[in-house]
């Protein structure tokens, strides 16, 4: 169906281990699915050369309780170990080196919740810490505001402190 010499990639894999629909953990089911996927790829799908696991908590990052599942492997120790064990061995790399070092910028379209409060844009602290992996230090902390019991940061002040830029184009928010 596809050219047999082209590599393929799974660009968005995520396995839920907790649901807030019934407030239950599904660790055994998650273990079974993760092991099944990663054990079958090398033998059944040899053209798959990369897997991008989405370490995302859909419950915390979507407003109005739209998200019902937690897909994070990094917050549940048992799932972290299951995932680590699944990718051990010669079939998966534990690190990747770039051929040459370079600094480049690229627009990334993200489904990051951005909130408008008093005509300013704000971003949730969890998004900074877990999705962007930004250490919320004192420099950033002074720009926080508490909304509905959660910490948010003014986007204009935040990008200034971090040295980022963003542009708004109608319904698209781009940050780099």
pLDDT digit string, tens, across residues 9-37: 898 899 988 888 888 888 899 999 999 99
Give the dihedral of Cα atoms 59, 63, 64, 70; nearest 10 deg: -10
What pLDDT does residue 128 have?
79
Q: Which residues are bridge partners to 145 per DSSP?
A: 152
Among 113, 7, 19, residue whose Cα is nearest residue 70: 19
Please tell me the distance from the alpha carbon of residue 10 to that of residue 44, in angstroms, as a whole number.
14
pLDDT digit string, tens, across residues 86-95: 988 888 877 7
Among 35, 117, 23, residue whose Cα is nearest residue 73: 35
Among 155, 130, 135, residue whose Cα is nearest residue 143: 155
Please tell me the distance from the alpha carbon of residue 141 to that of residue 135, in angstroms, as a whole number.
10
Tell me if the pTM is above 0.85.
no
Residues 97/50, Cβ–Cβ less than 8 Å:
no
pLDDT digit string, tens, across residues 102-144: 666 665 555 667 788 888 888 888 887 777 777 777 667 777 8
């Amino acid at each position: 169906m596809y050219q047999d010499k082209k590599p393929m990639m799974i660009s968005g894999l995520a396995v839920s281990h907790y649901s807030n629909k019934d407030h239950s953990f599904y660790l055994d089911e998650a273990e079974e699915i993760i092991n099944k996927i990663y054990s079958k790829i090398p033998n059944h799908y040899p053209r798959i050369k990369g897997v991008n696991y989405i370490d995302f908590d859909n419950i915390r990052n979507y407003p109005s309780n739209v998200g019902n599942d937690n897909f994070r492997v990094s917050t549940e120790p048992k799932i972290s170990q299951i995932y680590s064990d699944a990718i051990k061995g010669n079939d998966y790399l534990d690190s990747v080196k770039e051929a040459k070092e370079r600094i480049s910028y690229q627009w990334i379209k993200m489904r990051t919740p951005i909130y408008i409060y008093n005509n300013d844009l704000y971003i949730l602290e969890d998004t900074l810490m877990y999705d962007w992996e930004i250490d919320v230090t004192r420099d950033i902390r002074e720009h926080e505001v508490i909304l509905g019991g959660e910490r948010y940061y003014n986007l204009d002040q935040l990008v200034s402190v971090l040295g980022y830029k963003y542009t708004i184009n109608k319904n698209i928010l781009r940050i780099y």
